[in-house]
A = this chain, B = another copy of it.
């Protein structure tokens, strides 16, 4: 165990602290009163629906995981083209990711009624419960992720201790547990996304457009399904998603660090544990931030926003400062440059968040213009929204471009020579920028997960008929969540791009290891025969002809771009189909069950929950499997060059498409809210009906297809990495 320095133990300690605090926040939330019997009843409905869904979901995912693990085992033990640890690493990644989603959702379903109940007394009471419950999710995710990382690092160190290439093997093996997390995340996002939007779209179309009843009205049979959906998609889905991003960024950076400093002894070890330490310190700073979020009795909306921003901003600034200290104390080579890499990642996250807010908040022109387009009908709302969404890709893409260049150059001393060391150091810098972006996930995820809890609290308040004022308070809490969520989204999407880039480089490392395992010889840039172990990244680029004139690379890039569109198309269609079923069912209930609209008959909520559950389970399989299969086929047919083309095409196009979809959806949502606030005719006007169509179309954009793309990009990289052995066998 002499491979593990003392300072590493900060990682498991941070993990235990995070999980402990999560438990503390959970129990203190649980002690609160859930409110009137009606509130309890509604909460119970939602809880049951959500848990039933999650059970069903995990059952399906378990089958997929068992099949995949069996395939990996076959590859590892029979074909010998795979590291023997992979099947286990894959399973733990999936398991912990699922666990994070489960705990988060459990908390959220207990918290919503309690938030509504606290909001009956005061706004800040509601905020405290909702935010702390969101923090349970944030802390569980980072706690479990660091736990998984720490355990595997310790276990693998026991096995590989003394081996010359130990750290490279350890880190690349650990990377494969990222694939388990990615897989779980994709199913959670796609399944949850289809569930929630089928219910939401269905409820909106019949409820708001046809029957003219408000959101969350208990007369709408799809209301419970809609509220279940918020938990299933926005909480459990997001938890699994960010668990995956968080692990992915740390693990790929560690792998890049191991590769960049091969044979450098101490330095290599430091490079490997640096991202873990930044993450660990980030946990403590997140905790600090969470405790800073407190409000006085009778706080105003502005106070609340200030208090939330204070928490996240203090954490972000402190982690920036802490990075310098950590890297300096650790004695990492070029600690100053690497710290600036982290800063450029953090700054990119902030800028993307700001741009997201500009394009999607109705305080600004773009969204206001979409509302205005409502005056000429739903068609112009859609055209305008799509236009705005597409234009909104500009700032995030340029920001990410600049962040990539800066983090790359800061890490290698502004060396653009593309020599093997400058390249390796530069890519390590890109990875660590992603780690920096996600290091305060504990608190940023708390502000994100807080949103659906507040949303559900509003639903509970409406259905329990708690009156105008309570509903007003929960609406304020919800609106608050939307504002902070923009920043969170910026970090999530920015880090996904940087992590995917780091994974690209890790893929080369995996190919190298696979070639060593298979004893395949290659030639270096100068044409001399060498073993894979001696090859540098430029050697690989040359040997596999990974340049832009290689038709395999070009075809790969085409397929990557297409994969992003195809995946989005499949998930959009799935939501469309499921929503149509929901509409038909709600119309049927309105017609067949007497007195629903008068409030005397009880709608059959269960039928709608069942429709969503079944549709989500049924529809999530094909797109998810596709994401796994495409890189395997491309690898076997087009080889390493084709896979890299695929990943780059998928990354560039997928990232842009994801920003477009998320922002268009967000802008439509707020354009509608803008009209509802009394502009362009207000509620019930022609423009309102038109913007509701926009909002409905935007639902799958922003909550199903868009967020799933982030995972798709990384999952394709992960699959390529895990399947590297197979690709090499086909060379």
Contacts and interface: CB of A to CB of B under 8 A. Distances in A.
Interface of A: 201, 204-205, 209-210, 372-373, 375-380, 382-384, 386-394, 397-398, 400-401, 404-405, 408, 416, 418, 423, 426-427, 430, 497, 501, 504-505, 508, 525-527, 537-538, 541-542, 545-555, 557-562, 564-566, 568-573, 575-576, 579-580, 583-584, 644-645, 648-649, 651-653, 655-657, 660, 693, 696-697, 700
A388 B565 CA distance: 10
A286 B534 CA distance: 59
Contacts of A378: 378, 693
Contact of A390 (B397, B555, B565): B565
A549 B697 contact: no
Given A400-B558, A700-B383, A648 B548 contact: yes
Contacts of A652: 554, 557-558, 560-561, 649, 652-653
Contacts of A651: 554, 557-558
Contacts of A545: 418
Given A205-B376, A398-B559, A391 B566 contact: yes
- Please state the number of chain copies in the assembly: 2
A541 B549 contact: yes
Given A561-B656, A579-B380, A404 B648 contact: no
Contact of A696 (B375, B379, B526): B379
Given A391-B566, A572-B387, A201 B379 contact: yes
A583 B201 CA distance: 29
B569 A386 contact: yes
Contacts of A426: 551
A514 to B, nearest CB: 18
Given A382-B697, A542-B525, A558-B400, A549 B423 contact: yes
B550 A656 contact: no
B575 A388 contact: no
Nearest to A580: B376
Nearest to A508: B549
Nearest to A429: B551
Nearest to A553: B548
A660 B383 CA distance: 15
A566 B205 contact: no
14 contacts: A386-B569, A386-B697, A387-B571, A391-B565, A391-B566, A404-B555, A405-B552, A497-B558, A508-B549, A541-B547, A557-B649, A561-B652, A564-B656, A653-B653
Secondary structure at the A interface, as helix, strand, loop or mixed, is helix
Given A383-B575, A697-B379, A655 B373 contact: no
B383 A555 contact: no
Contacts of A541: 547-549
A568 B557 CA distance: 20
A579 B389 contact: no
Nearest to A372: B580
Given A555-B401, A576-B383, A561 B653 contact: yes
A179 to B, nearest CB: 21
B569 A390 contact: yes
Contacts of A390: 565-566, 568-570, 572
Contacts of A383: 201, 572-573, 575-576, 579, 696-697, 700
Nearest to A567: B390
Contacts of A505: 549
Given A565-B393, A576-B373, A205 B379 contact: yes
Contacts of A648: 548, 554, 557
Contact of A397 (B404, B561, B697): B561
A472 B75 CA distance: 65
Nearest to A571: B387
B546 A548 contact: yes
A86 to B, nearest CB: 24
Nearest to A556: B401
Contact of A566 (B393, B537, B700): B393
B376 A583 contact: yes
Given A384-B576, A569-B391, A408 B693 contact: no
Nearest to A654: B561
Given A405-B555, A649-B649, A649-B653, 9 more contacts: A376-B584, A380-B576, A386-B572, A388-B573, A404-B554, A416-B552, A418-B545, A504-B548, A557-B648
Given A391-B566, A545-B418, A558-B652, A382 B380 contact: no
A572 B571 CA distance: 24
Contacts of A527: 525-526
Give the interface centre of A388, A427, A525, A576 by most chain B CB atoms within 10 Å.
A576
B555 A693 contact: no
A365 to B, nearest CB: 12
Contacts of A559: 397-398, 401
A559 to B, nearest CB: 6
Contacts of A555: 401, 404-405
A497 B562 CA distance: 14
Contacts of A382: 382, 693, 697
Contact of A580 (B373, B408, B501): B373
B387 A573 contact: yes
Nearest to A497: B558
A397 B562 contact: yes
Nearest to A389: B569
The 5 nearest A-B residue pairs measured at CB: A390-B569, A387-B573, A387-B572, A379-B696, A397-B562
A565 B396 CA distance: 12
A404 B693 CA distance: 41
Contacts of A560: 652
A541 B541 CA distance: 10
A406 to B, nearest CB: 10
Given A383-B576, A569-B387, A551 B376 contact: no
Contacts of A573: 383-384, 387-388, 391
Contact of A418 (B204, B377, B550): B550
A711 B697 CA distance: 29
A201 B373 CA distance: 13
Contacts of A657: 565
Contacts of A504: 548-549
B393 A580 contact: no
Contacts of A380: 201, 205, 576, 579-580, 583
Contacts of A387: 568-573, 576
Nearest to A370: B576
A648 to B, nearest CB: 5
